[in-house]
Amino acid sequence: MTRILALAAAVLGVALAARVPAEVVTLKDGTVLQGQILEGDEKGLRLQRFDTGGVVFLPWNFLHDRDRDRIRRDRGLDIGELDAFQIPGVRIEMLDRTVYEGVMGEQEPDKIWLHTAQSRIPILTSRIVRQEAITVNAVEVYPPDKLYDDRMAEGRPTDVDSHFELGKFCMQIELYDKAIEHFGKVQELDPQYKPDFVQKRLTECQVMLANRAQAELVNRITRLLYANKFKEALDQIAALEQLEDLDPVWKTKLADKKKEAGEKRESFLIRSIAATMPPFIRHLAEVAGKDRNLSLPNARNYAQRDLSRDLRARLVNRFEIEEKEVRDFIAKIKSYHQFKVSYGDFTWFAPGETPPTFQRQQSGRTTQSDRGRITRASDRSRQSQQQREKPLPKADELWAQSIAKQRTSFIHALWAERAREVHVVRIERQACSVCAGRGTTRITGEGGIVEIRCTRCRGIGSDRVVVYRIGPGDGQGNVASPASEAGQGLTPAERLRQKLLERQRGRTEPGGQPPGGQPPSGGDRPGLRRPGGDRR
């Protein structure tokens, strides 16, 4: 019976979704609801959900600010600027850096047709570099008369609600004479139907028709804002504000446009800077890593100070804004995408890392078969052992011998751990690729099997991995705390993997002995059987 009721509710939801336009409402906690708005007043709105068929009451302070303002404005509760009528479109970037925006038309094997404000453009598919879905202003693509005829073909208005919606639609597509017709019909059918909203829209349409030149300039500002051309839009607004005897309706409209331009510009730049910073960071670290004349002290200074300066300079040139604005926008970034970068081979001289003291020791007692094998291999391994026993290169020497990829990873990781432009989420440990997390390696010499310090990690046993996200950090205090290294902020799977690594490292201290105990009996790998039958 329960399954039947659930199925009936789902069918009801599909039926409702098919008959009425969907309204997507986002709450402040991130929950997204889809349904039909039945009514709204100064306290909140009643929404009939498509998924359950139930009706819920949502106070205005429960809704996300963007959806709250939009719904209140659309339903006439707030008298503000109407959004332009948007339709699905596409942005196409060509090999020569030309960018086209419009609506996708017919597609042929070697080209596609794009409908734009100017014309119908053929675009060769072989010349396309990038293509992304966007929303475009419908008036930029189709004539207003065609949009109006298509809307009327869906059904002619029969009541006050439908005339009200058509009046708003006509204003969105800049068809002001038709908007006056439908708003006038609203006043005729019901003079008490949202009187302040309807009267303001009628006055606005009449002013638009009285001065078509200024109306076209205001509409051009709207198009510039939706094309993210904020500088041109603000210049256009400033030019209009300088006109003498400007109608009060125009002054109010320009003030709304100016506020909208500032908000959209800030939101656009915050998103764009957050998306542009990671590739810029990687490129700057690669350029520094390929510089063979860059010494280790200079690489440290560059990662901790100059890389951030170069990054801000690139963002200033890319978006044509002031450096102070770059700093302010970075401080407002709220990104949850995480990036990982490792110190790699240079973990042992990274900040907060100290290689443990170590003395070469015998791995344990050797069996008869071990002695025979060691005797036969002693001559062959003497030269190799002598090379292994040479002093390990110092940090400066290792840096000079390293490849560009290793140097790039070190510079990137050190910058991420120290920069103010990012926030360190946690520090992870990744087992050394040579010693598998033990910190030591085993060699065969004249005296038997001995353990030596790992030449890669210098006894640490793991690589230091910085996990960070784009957003405001705190500079020198940006280094993750020991609590975060111990597992705070890790997922359950990451916490389990870290425990296994620590357990593996704890079985054998540097020197081959368990913590505080005697050397393991039976050679260097207890529990493994050799082909001859000896248990090692």
Q: What is the DSSP letter of 455?
A: T
Domains of the chain: 2-74 (2.30.30.100), 86-140 (2.30.30.100), 338-507 (no CATH)
CB 400 within 8 A of CB 392: no
Beta-sheet strand order (sheet of 440-445): 361-362, 448-453, 440-445
Taking the C-alpha atoms of 115, 117, 119 and 121 in order, what is their torsion angle to the nearest 10 degrees? -40
- Tokens 């930029």 belong to residue: 140
CB 48 within 8 A of CB 35: yes
pLDDT confidence of residue 519 = 42
> Comparing C-alpha atoms, which of 366, 500, 473, 380 is closest to residue 419?
473
pLDDT by position in tens, the chain (length 536): 444 444 444 444 444 343 445 678 888 877 888 888 887 777 888 889 888 888 999 988 888 877 887 787 766 666 555 666 777 888 888 877 677 778 888 888 888 888 876 677 888 888 888 888 877 777 777 888 888 888 888 888 888 888 988 888 888 888 888 999 999 999 998 888 888 788 888 888 888 787 777 777 777 887 787 777 888 888 888 888 887 777 777 788 788 888 888 888 888 899 889 888 999 999 999 999 999 999 999 999 999 989 999 999 999 998 889 999 999 999 998 887 889 999 999 998 888 888 887 655 544 554 555 555 545 545 545 545 444 456 778 889 999 999 999 999 999 999 999 998 999 999 999 999 998 888 888 876 656 677 888 888 988 989 999 999 998 865 444 444 443 444 444 555 556 666 666 665 554 444 444 444 444 443 443 333 444 444 43
- Tokens 């993210």 belong to residue: 228
CB 32 within 8 A of CB 24: yes
- Tokens 């040139």 belong to residue: 317
- Tell me the chain's radius of gyration from C-alpha atoms: 34
pLDDT confidence of residue 156 = 85
Q: Which run of H or of E encompasses 115?
A: strand 111-115
Task: Please classify residue 492 by burial: count the beta carbons closer than 10 Å to its beta carbon, then call 0-12 exposed, 13-18 middle and 19+ buried.
Answer: exposed
Cα–Cα distance for residue pair 277/270, rounded to 1 Å = 11
- Tokens 């280790």 belong to residue: 296
Q: Are strands 86-94 and 99-107 parallel, antiparallel or unpaired?
A: antiparallel
> Comparing C-alpha atoms, which of 234, 429, 272 is closest to residue 347?
429
